[in-house]
Amino acid sequence: MGIYNAQGEYVGAVGYNIYEEYEGAEDVPQAIYNQIALGNDYRFDAQPKDNGGAYTPVSEREGGNNGYYRNHGCLHFASVAQSFEYESKEIIYKGVLSYNNDLLVYVAIELDSEKVNERDLTLIAESIEITQSSV
């Protein structure tokens, strides 16, 4: 789904999916987000510092049955896009990844690096809550 700013300009996209936990990889972000990475030719380091990665999650909240929501913000996606001349071109996007390990659902947001600043990206990441609907 597209994301547009107040001027109607396209600034990014958002999507969600379910995932399976794999034994030994329950808290490994690459295992959680593998469908979006493989399906869109993304390469990103979604590994938190406490697990040997490069960043600290923006927020974590308790939720569900021993579950939590982990919001990964201010990530930089590297996407390889093919041009009409079949030349490979790397495009860098900013992004937010968040998952709920009780519901086994994640959301991924891709934003144009030139149209969204780090402050706004962090605010977006901090605002995400993945909960079960009461409807």
Number of domains, the chain: 1
Q: Give the pLDDT score at 64.
A: 42
Longest dimension (CA), the chain: 51
Would 43 be classed as within a structural domain? Answer: yes
Q: Give the pLDDT score at 123.
A: 82
Would 133 be classed as within a structural domain? Answer: no
Would 44 be classed as within a structural domain? Answer: yes
Would 132 be classed as within a structural domain? Answer: no
67 DSSP assignment: E
Would 134 be classed as within a structural domain? Answer: no
Share of the chain above pLDDT 70, in %: 58
Q: Give the pLDDT score at 82.
A: 47
Domain that holds residue 78: 2-127
Would 33 be classed as within a structural domain? Answer: yes
Q: Give the pLDDT score at 7.
A: 93
d(CA 74, CA 97): 9
Would 63 be classed as within a structural domain? Answer: yes
Which tens digits make up the pLDDT trace of 17-41? 888 887 877 666 667 777 666 556 6
CB-CB neighbours of 132 under 10 Å: 12
Nearest CA-CA partner of 71 in 117, 121, 35, 31: 121
Nearest CA-CA partner of 62 in 98, 100, 14: 100
This model's pTM is above 0.85: no
Would 90 be classed as within a structural domain? Answer: yes
